[in-house]
């Protein structure tokens, strides 16, 4: 058996380097994809929770007016306030 030449060894090492680099790149791509997925899931869950929240102006406890006749409508806070305590 003859020993491998310098060029053969060099080619083998370059091949090995390329393989390792490719493997490293794949794992980096997987890590990046996982990060992107996590960001997207966070975004989606934030969007979902924002849809459940009322707009800020609806949080004000003022009397709203009826869109058709303009009469003042009672809000939840008003109806709670008007309860008369029982006297027995």
Residues 23-49 pLDDT 10s: 988 999 999 999 999 999 888 887 766
**Burial environment of residue 75 by CB neighbours within 10 A (0 to 12, 13 to 18, 19 or more):** middle
- Residue 54 pLDDT > 90, yes or no? no
> Coil, strand, or helix at residue 27?
helix
- Residue 9 pLDDT > 60, yes or no? yes
- pLDDT tens readout for residues 56-70: 555 455 556 776 676
* Residue 58: DSSP 8-state: G
Task: Quote the pTM value.
Answer: 0.38
């Amino acid at each position: 058996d003859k020993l491998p030449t310098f060029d053969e060894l060099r080619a083998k090492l370059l091949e090995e380097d390329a393989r390792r680099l490719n493997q490293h790149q794949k794992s980096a791509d997987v890590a990046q994809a996982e990060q992107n997925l996590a960001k997207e899931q966070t975004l989606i869950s934030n969007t979902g929770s924002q849809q459940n929240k009322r707009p800020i102006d609806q949080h004000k406890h003022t009397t709203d007016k009826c869109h058709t006749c303009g009469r003042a409508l009672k809000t939840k806070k008003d109806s709670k306030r008007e309860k008369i305590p029982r006297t027995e």
